[in-house]
Amino acid sequence: MFAPADTYVPQFGARAQSRRAPAVVWAAMVIVALVPALLIVAAPLLLASGHTALALPIYEAFSYLCHQLPERSLHLEGQKLAVCSRCTGLYFGFALSVLLYPLARSLKRVDTPRLRWLLLAAVPVILDWGLTVLGLWENTHLSRFLTGALFSVVAAVYVVPGLVDLGQSLRRRFGAKAGALSVEQSDDAAVLTRAAAVEPTRTKEPVRSAPSDYGSPSSRI
């Protein structure tokens, strides 16, 4: 039984939406990654220009994620950034990596490199921190920024395809539910159509009149 014409879903439109889905996920990730990076720089600029009421909430929000020690933070316009130098590298490295990701790798690919590359990217961070704690090395703003940026750049290569794959899985799941609901509605409509077709039509009964004997001359008065 064919479904009604009004329930037809154009296949070319569905394919176009499927091709656009990875780009939509990537664009959302760019926004999510850029906003914190911009706020980190905006906080000292706002504070230096006298907009304390706008700057302090930004510092307060990032205080839950970073120690914000002045001696371990980069400064802009005489004010420290909203996070320390290592966290600055993490945020900026991730934002830059996500922004430039399509230039290095297709958004359609959802496979990720081997986990060992992410672990290797974490080694400089551990060494830069660990050697300083042991007194064998004194890290600097530059070393903290670069090691944090390196780790986040590599991490983005795992996060982007993972979220793209998740977005496609959710789209397929909800699309399948919507398709099943549409088919069910089409079947119900078809059943009602068949029932209406086989229902016998009622015909009007002819009006019966009483027999008249006026046709016979003998019956006339």
Mind listing the pLDDT tens digit for each residue in 108-152?
Answer: 999 999 999 999 999 999 999 999 999 999 999 999 999 999 999
Q: What type of residue is 209?
A: S
Residue in the block written with tokens 């939509």? 24
CA distance linking residue 134 with residue 126, whole number of Å: 12
Instruction: Between 194 and 33, name the one with better pLDDT.
Output: 33
CA distance linking residue 83 with residue 144, whole number of Å: 12
Per-residue pLDDT at 2 exceeds 50:
yes
3-state secondary structure the chain: CCCCHHHCCCHHHHHHHHHHHHHHHHHHHHHHHHHHHHHHHHHHHHHHCCCHHHHHHHHHHHCCCCCCCHHHCCEECCEECCCCHHHHHHHHHHHHHHHHHHHHCCCCCCCCCCHHHHHHHHHHHHHHHHHHHCCCCCCCHHHHHHHHHHHHHHHHHHHHHHHHHHHHHHHHHHHHHHHHHHHHHHHHHHHHHHHHHHCCCCCCCCCCCCCCCCCCHHHCC
Say whether pTM exceeds 0.85.
no
Mind listing the pLDDT tens digit for each residue in 147-206?
Answer: 999 999 999 999 999 999 998 888 888 766 655 555 556 555 555 666 566 655 555 555
